[in-house]
Structure 1
């Protein structure tokens, strides 16, 4: 196992990079060049750590597709010079950003590990130190001269997950993220326990291809039992929308009213791509399993299987730039590209 790796720590914003003002008690970003003064334990790591901070760090709630592109370009520009990357990001939309990056970084053969914290780095009880230190260790893991992790991961509270399988499930607990449809890649205890059967296997000779375009003409619609006809029709007629993530009930079920099915069919005929994902935290869409999803299958909705809403949004923004015919788009979307679905 390689002892020393060169890691680029990228700060985009978020709680992990905040400190409390002793006078106002409000949170403010601190200078990341002073990272070692806040976490002196980093000096004990054998890895060489360099830092890069976004010129205008953002709360993750303000992060959008243009920031995803900027982040991908930072990784691309430094890809040959570093063995791994750790991205510090606000937890609220971390799964969205990390999922999008997984599609943008094609043929990734080095670790890109997202992490953050629920408490500021300067707080006495902060979870930032453990998350950051272990993320760096994970990013530096090598065996036989090659990285152990060759994908975009998300590390939080002793577990490394495949990033595009994650969802933030708790706003208060340190265990903020979960991957209900896919096991952790690594669990941190006294030792790092690697779940080798779950890792991505990308041939090391493949050349990284970074996709610089995303199309944000995407909308998420969450079905409710009392959804009004005029409300749905108004939403589906929103100008410029090209992709819809439709959060349905259970294993992909919905209303069977004729007006509902016709409204979706009309949108599909206009060229809008509609993906059926489940509102449930875990489980999978299986259109046709029940009568309440059979019509959705017949009119051509894309089956999201066990993809998360966050990953579906990222995949949609990525694929909309490819200008594909509907059936080709549907076939590719229903295929796992980065391990995001079964």
Structure 2
């Protein structure tokens, strides 16, 4: 760790933030992030040392998958002891999925990992990329008594810092693209950078970083809707080697009480398939048993996702299935906050 200025590593995975526009043709192209200090000279004003590393072939975030999540985690693991903080540049479409996954993969994280991106390319006249990048680096370099202030995976976008595994992309057009509807902002950037210390994650900093790389993709996500058929649901649960299913239910965790529906879930649980109940609502929590329409789910052993986001639910399911733990241990682990992902 640096004894003078903090060392910050920028990790470029791809996305709009790394694009510049050819003003003659209007075509977007990637620029070399090694030259970022020349492209954004304002970064030289920050009180930190900045280094960069990039995917060999940067990707559109729509192509993001768990194999790339492992690549990001390995880059952080490789450079962990030489840097005080990390900024991951990522396309906004799947950023909440990736950032949530990294929060579970990086156990005992004691340094900031800040995800950011932009809605417009860095070379665009009205771009949001510069502010997002500059403030993300500033957040990652915040220290108190030469120790990082932030010790978790977070996401910075449009003047707000969020806990990563609490975020959802809510808008494809506005600069304010993300929201954290069930947890307060960690910081807000205005004339001053205001950090809400009471909401920061407090890890055990005396434990060594553990990087989990075994993620199981044999899961499914089912959004319930009025009229969903038995055949469609059964086909999902008949998927070979299926390990877990996330059900996006109505309101506070409610669903149809028709016998065929409950029987499909009951039989799947008997086969050892984990079923997680999360709400379709943007904000709020699953409260199983609160209404009669969720009481049967509780009785047959469906796991409550409480107020977890769908993005965090997916990555937490992949992570826990990859841990190869008993069904009871799985249920206990899923229903408690491992990285501050549920209240």
The TM-score bracket by the shorter chain reads over 0.9
Conserved in 1, the CA contact under 8 Å of 2:244 and 2:274? Answer: yes
Name the CA distance, whole Å, in 2 between partners of 1:230 and 1:51: 50
Conserved in 2, the CA contact under 8 Å of 1:96 and 1:311? Answer: yes
* Alignment-derived partner of residue 60 in structure 1: 61
Name the CA distance, whole Å, in 2 between partners of 1:204 and 1:242: 33
Q: Which moved more, 1:236-245 or 1:131-140?
A: 236-245
Q: CA deviation at 1:55?
A: 0.3
Q: CA deviation at 1:252?
A: 0.2
Q: CA deviation at 1:4?
A: 2.4
Note the residue ranges of structure 2 that are not aligned, 5 or more in a row: none
Runs of at least 4 residues off by over 6 Å: none
Q: CA deviation at 1:37?
A: 2.5
* Alignment-derived partner of residue 219 in structure 2: 218
Conserved in 2, the CA contact under 8 Å of 1:100 and 1:314? Answer: yes
* Alignment-derived partner of residue 170 in structure 2: 169
Conserved in 2, the CA contact under 8 Å of 1:168 and 1:178? Answer: yes
* Alignment-derived partner of residue 317 in structure 2: 316
Name the CA distance, whole Å, in 2 between partners of 1:232 and 1:212: 30
Residues 1:249 and 2:250 are matched in the alignment: yes
Q: CA deviation at 1:160?
A: 0.4
* Alignment-derived partner of residue 208 in structure 1: 209
CA RMSD of aligned residues (A): 1.1
Q: Which moved more, 1:88-97 or 1:197-206?
A: 197-206
Deviations 1:116-175 (A, max 9, x none): 000000000000000000000000000112110000000000000000000000000000
What aligned pairs does 1:104-119 form with structure 2 within 5 A after superposition?
104-119=105-120
Q: CA deviation at 1:213?
A: 1.2
* Alignment-derived partner of residue 149 in structure 1: 150
* DSSP 3-state at the match of 1:69: helix
Conserved in 2, the CA contact under 8 Å of 1:3 and 1:46? Answer: no
Conserved in 1, the CA contact under 8 Å of 2:168 and 2:311? Answer: yes
Q: Which moved more, 1:233-242 or 1:310-319?
A: 233-242
* Alignment-derived partner of residue 197 in structure 2: 196
Residues 1:129 and 2:130 are matched in the alignment: yes
Q: CA deviation at 1:180?
A: 0.3
* Alignment-derived partner of residue 90 in structure 1: 91
Name the CA distance, whole Å, in 1 between partners of 2:28 and 2:262: 48
Q: CA deviation at 1:3?
A: 7.6
Deviations 1:77-128 (A, max 9, x none): 0000000000000000000000000000000000000000000000000000
What aligned pairs does 1:70-81 form with structure 2 within 5 A after superposition?
70-81=71-82
Name the CA distance, whole Å, in 1 between partners of 2:26 and 2:266: 53
Note the residue ranges of structure 1 that are not aligned, 5 or more in a row: none
* Alignment-derived partner of residue 298 in structure 2: 297
Q: Which moved more, 1:74-83 or 1:227-236?
A: 227-236
Q: CA deviation at 1:295?
A: 0.5
Name the CA distance, whole Å, in 1 between partners of 2:293 and 2:323: 32
Q: CA deviation at 1:234?
A: 1.1
Name the CA distance, whole Å, in 1 between partners of 2:79 and 2:135: 22
Name the CA distance, whole Å, in 2 between partners of 1:117 and 1:240: 38
Q: CA deviation at 1:309?
A: 0.5
Q: CA deviation at 1:47?
A: 0.7
Name the CA distance, whole Å, in 2 between partners of 1:328 and 1:45: 45
Conserved in 1, the CA contact under 8 Å of 2:220 and 2:236? Answer: no
Conserved in 1, the CA contact under 8 Å of 2:218 and 2:243? Answer: yes
How many residues in Structure 1 have an aligned counterpart in Structure 2? 341
